[in-house]
Structure 1
């Protein structure tokens, strides 16, 4: 009897995860479609963090690794060092240099033997979800994406900048596709789509926000992945209607009673101030912004001229020496990267 019950539970568990396309999508990081690459990169990281997820009822169902731990990733790595890698590889650490421990992450991200205690503190103390998004977009080769340690910057760009790879839409009534981002505002005040739009149009300089990447839609579900969701790279399950639009999206309100043992109904991680859907533009529109081929297939940028034969007056490029003359000597030596620890 116990064996039959265990087998039934196993089958039900498999059915619950039948729509998770990440194991297959994670293999498509070199796909020709930008949207597919975004989903593939995010999925690969979600699998690396051992599939933490919040179910469709807003309950945290699995959280095998935390940002501060020294091990727990699928490859045995330290979650905090992986977060340091998002910061370092995305090039966003200089913008955070005023934060304690940020510079230490340059070394901790590249050397497993480096203790990085300052970096570990930086990882714990500073939200890294926007660094994760920026890293995913860079790795996927999204043209025109505005990398930033703040979600608000690329949400605002989608609203104000025609060269953004995203369109700024309301989460309500819009269908979602892989590569899109669903965003909420992280303040006590409630904004919603209308409120956020007014603040952006009025010149708002910044708001604390969070965005998740839609990686798949399947059988009435949207699967969204974000960084620093419960201190991990975590998937969130959301419901869709027959037209692929978000349905039953729980919105915070000023009257919400805080989650507590006395109010279990208020305990739902999917109840947020959902304020914007960033819809990825079609591939042909993205091609008007920049290269849409995978980053590994992009040509190297042209090497700047060090001298010229047919010179343009005022260009600042020195004339090449005549044949038989000694080569030009730079007045200032080229900058070389400092050795580690230099």
Structure 2
């Protein structure tokens, strides 16, 4: 059976009872995700920011190869100089911030049961204030020399409005992941790309320092990891086939909460991804008691998605050394 895409086309529902931390005393939407996110501050002295901005590869290819390195002026100084170490807490918090910006939608239904909206006005990515935000994902997340860097949620690189019925040609789910990694301070520890396959293959091949690809049959995702799946006819790609010598359609979400016990699956984790139902949405993923998303044979516990791999960015810390101050 062909697995559906986590990106377009999808619809969403918002069920607050399934949100991370829902029902916990004193934890409302303003503190969403903090139960699995905030850790006690440590006593390690604050590292000093780098004196100069970091340089990153200026070109990425779908087979995982990278081009020459350079400096992107589009990345905020606090990120490129690492005012705080690149850490899991920040990556998850940034993803949750964007999810709240789009209205905290939850996409847990089978994608086959979620039809496309009947009008462009029903697509969050095209709404005032949000289409520009998608443009920021492209602008900051992509390398300056990429044509896609000037896309928005409804316009081409030349500023021309594109047809909502063909917005799949401008899918921004990988741009969202790249944006979060940039702002979290990944610098040269990620393969920024408009295609998920680029950083999946880069992780599997070891071409990017610290970026790894783990087998979901043996590895339990952690906060800030990326959970990835092949889409459409690429759903039959397995972990043992990585890296592939070619690009393929895929989707990844950022793990924002683990070790959950609640609806709809009981044991579960939560991921946040872009371009799911034309928005930034949260999806719950079933796990076993050890937190893995697949059994020992690689069979996904999720009937919706045959999870392909878990990517582990080269985080320097689990949390900010001065978190809460």
Q: Could you say which TM-score interval applies, normalised by the shorter chain? A: 0.5 to 0.7
The match for 1:235 among 264, 282, 287 is: 282
Query: Of 11, 17, 20, which aligns to 2:19?
Result: 17
SS at match of 2:228: strand
Residue 247 of structure 1 and its aligned partner are, at CA, apart by: 5.0
Q: 8 Å contact 1:37–1:140 — kept in the other structure?
A: yes
**Deviation at 1:276?**
1.3
Q: Does 1:140 align with 2:193?
A: no
Once the 2 structures are TM-superposed, how far is the Cα of residue 234 of structure 1 from its aligned partner?
0.8
Is 1:208 equivalent to 2:210 in the alignment?
Answer: no
Work out the CA distance in 2 between the residues paired with 1:207 and 1:57: 22
Shift of 1:31: 6.4
Map of 2:219 onto structure 1: 174
**Separation of aligned partners in 2, 1:276 and 1:43:** 22
- Note if 1:184 corresponds to 2:229: yes
| Deviation, structure 1 residue 50 | 0.5
Alignment of 1:38-77 (within 5 A): 38-55=91-108, 66-71=123-128, 77=129
1:229 & 1:150 partners in 2: Cα distance? 15
Do the aligned residues in 1 keep the contact of 2:138 with 2:150 (CA within 8 Å)? Answer: no
Matched-pair contact (CA < 8 Å) for 1:212–1:225: yes
How far apart are the structure 2 equivalents of 1:39 and 1:94?
28
Structure 2 spans left out of the alignment, 5+ residues: 1-14, 39-78, 261-266
**Residues 35-59 of structure 1, C-alpha deviations (whole Å, 9 max, x = no match):** 1111011000000010111238777
1:274 is aligned to 307
- Aligned 8 A contact 2:272 2:282 in 1: yes
**Does the CA-based 8 Å contact 1:179-1:214 persist in structure 2?**
yes
Distance 1:232 1:156, change over 3 A: same
TM-score, structure 2 length as denominator? Answer: 0.60
Shift of residue 235 of structure 1? Answer: 0.6
Distance 1:166 1:122 in 2: 33
8 A Cα contact 1:68 1:124, kept in partner: no
Determine the C-alpha separation between the residues in 2 that align with 1:84 and 1:120: 16
Distance 2:197 2:275 in 1: 16
Inter-partner Cα distance in structure 1 for 2:312 and 2:235 = 22
- Match among 241, 249, 264 for residue 196 of structure 1: 241
Q: Which residue of 2 aligns with 1:307?
A: none
Larger relative contact order (CA 8 Å, sep ≥ 6): 2
SS in 2 for 1:235: strand
Is 1:217 aligned to residue 268 of structure 2? no
- Provide the C-alpha distance between the structure 2 equivalents of 1:214 and 1:38, rounded to a whole number of angstroms: 9
Aligned length: 238
Aligned twin of 2:206: 161
Aligned partners of 1:91, 1:35: CA distance in 2, in Å? Answer: 21
Q: Which residue is 2:141 aligned to?
A: 90
Q: Distance in 2 between matches of 1:37 and 1:65?
A: 31
Aligned to 1:131: 175
- Once residues 255 and 241 of structure 2 are traced to their aligned partners in structure 1, the CA distance between those partners, rounded to angstroms, is 21
**Cα 1:162/1:244, change in 2 over 3 Å:** same
Q: Identify the residue that residue 319 of structure 1 maps to in structure 2.
A: none
Q: Alpha carbon RMSD of aligned pairs, Å?
A: 4.0
- SS of 1:227's equivalent in the other structure is strand
The offset of 1:279, in angstroms, is 2.4
Q: Deviations over 1:198-222 (max 9, x none)?
A: x62xxx1211111111111142321
Aligned ranges 1:96-111 → 2 under 5 Å: 96=147, 102-105=156-159
